[in-house]
Amino acid sequence: MDKILVLDFGSQYSHLICRRIREFSVYAELVPFDISLEEIRKHNPKGIIFSGGPSSVYNSDAPIPEDAIFEMNLPLLGICYGHQLIVNKFGGKVKRANKEYGSSLLTIDNDKDLLSGVGESVRAWMSHGDEAEEIPPGFQVIGHTESAKAAAIASDEKSVFGIQFHPEVVHTEQGTEILKNFVLKVCGASQDWTMEGFIETEVEKISKIEGNVLCGVSGGIDSTVAALLIHKAIGDRLKCVFVNNGLLRMDEEKEIEEMFKNNFKVNFSSINAGESFLSKLKGVEDPEEKRKIVGEEFISVFTDFAEKNGPFKWLAQGTLYPDVIESGVSKGPAAVIKSHHNVGGLPDWLNLEILEPLKELYKDEVREIAKILNVPQNIFMRHPFPGPGLAVRIIGEITPIKLDITKRASKIVEEELIEAGLYGSVWQAYASVGDDKAVGVVGDERKHGNIVMIRVVDSIDAMTADWTRLPHGLLEKMSNRITNEIEDVTWVTYAISSKPPATIEPQ
């Protein structure tokens, strides 16, 4: 299949470039900025995109790709820092400028090729502190803003383009059309990236592995789809294991066991390890430490099961691309946001090889695969649930009271969303609790009780998220039920921070 390579220079939006391109059925892959010419040729891309990044091209430690990449005669698009790389490389001049962050009006000066069909002007998202002072010889300005006179440039002879703004973010009008123009018109890439094709390729790849596979299933869509893909490839060489870590949603362990026994014909075992997990988490407050403990205990339980029921060669997990990005195991110079138990939390002593068939996919792509594999809708439309479970929704130390509050309050939030017909239209919804307490009045008596935070967000791929504007009457209903039905709660709050700067889960 045709492929676009995106060289990652450390932008928070790098992954979104790939995501947008995949939306119109062309495969895009994020690779390190210092990828070798030899490796690029192995990929055989139809075009290359330079992402944005926090560096300045004139600094001595600026990330610079191999010179030979510029001479490959492949279509090239530079975004933000990538735009400045192109200006600098081809003989232009980049200077420090006043920082510009936010929406600007982009006026189109030449509507051929890259900006074809975009219109006379669009709102474009800027996020930069440098700009092109002089464009290179043989280039022309094809778009400008009031602050950036060379916001979009194009080579007169080569298929090389630079844009100062970010077409990959939703704040840029016609941003997807601009990427389409580059990928489909300039690069001539075929729209042959489909989930049906992914299934076929992945099943063929997995079918060639040797040995038995142990797959940890949580009941969530990711691990469920991973298990079904592997089962499709190797059949009974797969063994699915569900570990009840004591940090699940209310009555979830029963639902998961029934789901796998009634819907899927796979080898399935269940392990109740709640006491073990909770004892190791006792007294722990730091969120990263919680994640590491949960990850290591999961692997410990799986390894013990494997030794008693094996032999197994592989441990399969439903790791997704956002998990890899946030755990700092991405292709470029990304920072660690938080460790995921199935990525950053893996211990050094693990003696099983890791199989992650979904690690290059986003959540909505996994849901599309679930439909193809005939997973029941009530399963694949279920809200995502973090691998460490309620350990990351309980702020501070995990106590029996806080665990009970989180389970019951989250159940109320979900029930009210279902009743209002909104459960399927939001990305994630839950209740969280910490150590803060507030005074309330119960009957005629003063009471010092816990504060519950409700969190409901909208998202596409979990890499960015916006808080959901729920009807006030619905929020009131949730609050009333939580304070009336859960004895230890006196206040209910609603989280209105988006991602970024917040994350979806509180820890």
Report CA 73 to chain centroid distance, whole Å. 33
Residue 168 annotated among the catalytic residues of the structure: yes
Of 18, 131, 144, 168, which one is the catalytic site residue? 168
* Single-letter amino acid code for the residue at 105: L
Indicate the DSSP class of residue 99.
Answer: E
Q: Which residue has the tokens 């007294």?
A: 283
382: left (phi over 0), alpha (psi -120 to 50) or beta: beta
Kindly report the length of the chain: 507
Q: How far is CA 78 from CA 141, 185, 272, 392, 421, in A?
A: 14, 16, 52, 38, 43
SS3 200: helix
Residue 18 annotated among the catalytic residues of the structure: no
Neighbours of 484 (CB within 10 A): 11
Neighbours of 186 (CB within 10 A): 21
Of 128, 166, 340, 383, which one is the catalytic site residue? 166
CB 122 within 8 A of CB 161: no
CB 407 within 8 A of CB 398: no
Nearest to 65 by CA among 86, 46, 44, 45: 86
Of 15, 18, 80, 202, which one is the catalytic site residue? 80
Residue 240 annotated among the catalytic residues of the structure: no
Nearest to 104 by CA among 165, 162, 16: 165
In DSSP terms, 152 is beta-bridged to: 143, 163
Q: Which residue has the tokens 């639902």?
A: 255
The pair of structure tokens assigned to 292 is 């590491």
Q: Which helix (H) or strand (E) holds 14?
A: helix 14-23
Catalytic residue positions? 80, 166, 168
